[in-house]
Chain A
Amino acid sequence: MTTLLEARYRTVLRLLPAYYRRAREEEMVEVYLWDVDQDTQDQSRPTLGEVVSIAALAVRSRLAAAGAPRPYALLGSAVRHFALFAVLLQAATAVVERVLGLTWSSTHGSRQWDMFLSGFTGRGPLWTVVGIAEWVLPLLWTVGFFALVHDRRRLARAAVVLAALPTLWPLVGPLVSDWAVSDPWFAVANALFAWLPALALCAAFHRDAPPAALPFGAPGMVYAACCVVMGASLVLLPAMADSAWAPGTCFVLGALAWLLLRARRPDRSPDCGAVALAALGLLLLAVRVAAVYPWLGVLPAAFVGGALAQAAVLALLVVALAVVARRDLTAVSRGT
């Protein structure tokens, strides 16, 4: 007869994917109930620690590595690619924005320098801490990226979580201070752009996952190329420069290069790169639209036109990547 405790354990085990439950559920229930007194089973519950350990196993078995059933191995590969590409984009964005901002402020007179410093001072200790954290912590995206490609997973996880923290301030700040966010949709989109990659990295690069590897190029070269493209997009078209412009431009060029190299590659074995890029493109499109929306009809037509053109290119690219991803997944399901 099934006791209440057994039913509760089986409920917790439903977190695991079906293939895993088929292989392990009976055995795991036997372990759980081994030394539990039959008479007390209806009064007991799975502990929080047991639930957490099953949840962690569920994440690992769903975002699986090679050897697991194909849908889970593909999902794992796609999430790992998404995390890698997004962290690269975030890393280059953070460095380029800060280097250009610092260069501009320090070379355009004392007034610009004072404006730069006013971001950290003059508004009380809370805002000083927030200002410094918002400037410094995003630099950890670069630490996270290089830690990831060198398979230092713990360091990568810690770095990206810390790097993503400042994006929470626009959401949390209004709750703890009298500050009101002027653009809540952009704040949400920006937080998603930081936290989805950070959480994807933490979940998908588990102990059983293969090391991160870019589809082409050495990590340092690819990172430097992203920085150059972003820096050039801001320097050459300063009228377009909002926070979505540089990563959007870099993504467009990077995704086009990826599609081109993929088309020329003799071995076209699908690696879920298209799925990951399509998801990242969609996320960037949300940031792009949220960034330009409040300024429609306010800022000059050149800026709004440039931002909308970038949004249109991003949308087209997302559709193209989705088509490629669909073809890849169809090929995989046919076993080719």
Chain B
Amino acid sequence: MTQAAFFVLTALADQPRHGYGILREVGELSDGAVQLRVGTLYGVLDRLTADGLIALDREEVHDGRLRRYYRVTEEGIGALDAEAERMAAGADAAKQRIAEGRKAPGPAVNPAPHPSAGPGPGPGLAGGLA
């Protein structure tokens, strides 16, 4: 699943939204890191619709303009859940590796001491080599 598809599904997970609502929600969910263009959004919506992960919820007309609301399907919830599990497992594995690295001796995995942080748990550059 692409990053854009993941965020679009996440944006629709709690309630149906229209195109602009999805764009805004994706921006907020990603802290502004993912800014979808309209062309990209509709490419993603086409793909998710074709895969049965989202569906048209309703259509409304406001000031003479069409507004379509999309909702995530049961299959879409399943796919999003699986993707979230996969990402969480990856994040857990990364955290575990980082923790193991910090416990293990050796200069390669020791974090560089920040000047304002004071003495760290391992030897600093001067203390370790002197």
Contacts and interface: CB of A to CB of B under 8 A. Distances in A.
Interface in A185-228: 207-208
A29 interface: yes
A4 B34 CA distance: 29
Interface stretch (A47-55, A138-146, A271-279): A47-55
Given A27-B68, A29-B65, A208-B50, A34 B38 contact: no
Interface in A12-63: 24, 26-35, 49-50, 52-57, 60-61
Interface string B20-54: 10010000000000000111111100110010000
Contacts of A207: 2, 43, 47
A110 B23 CA distance: 67
Interface string B55-91: 0000000100111100000000000000000000000
B19 interface: yes
A50 B20 contact: no
Given A32-B38, A54-B38, A57-B39, A27 B19 contact: yes
B65 A26 contact: yes
A124 interface: no
Contacts of B66: 26-27, 30
A28 B45 CA distance: 12
Contacts of A49: 37
Contacts of A208: 43, 46-47, 50
A300 interface: no
A50 B39 CA distance: 7
A53 B40 contact: yes
B125 to A, nearest CB: 41
A67 interface: yes
B50 A34 contact: no
A29 B39 CA distance: 11
Residue from the set A27, A50, A208 with the largest chain B CB neighbour count within 10 Å: A27
Contact of B38 (A26, A35, A53, A67): A53
Contacts, number: 58
Contacts of B20: 30-31, 34-35
A50 B65 contact: no
Contacts of B37: 49-50, 52-53
Contact of A30 (B2, B40, B47, B65): B65
Contacts of A57: 39-40, 42-43
B42 A30 contact: no
Given A27-B19, A30-B20, A35-B20, A50 B46 contact: no
A334 B102 CA distance: 69
A158 B60 CA distance: 44
Contacts of A54: 38-39
Nearest to B64: A26
Nearest to B46: A208
A276 to B, nearest CB: 24
Contact of A28 (B38, B47, B50, B62): B38
A29 B63 CA distance: 12
B38 A60 contact: no
Contacts of B19: 27-28, 30-31
Given A49-B37, A50-B39, A53-B40, A31 B50 contact: no
Interface of A: 24, 26-35, 49-50, 52-57, 60-61, 67, 207-208
28 contacts: A24-B42, A26-B66, A27-B66, A27-B68, A29-B65, A30-B18, A30-B19, A30-B65, A30-B66, A30-B67, A31-B18, A31-B20, A35-B20, A49-B37, A50-B38, A52-B37, A52-B39, A53-B39, A53-B40, A54-B38, A56-B39, A56-B40, A57-B40, A61-B46, A207-B2, A208-B46, A208-B47, A208-B50
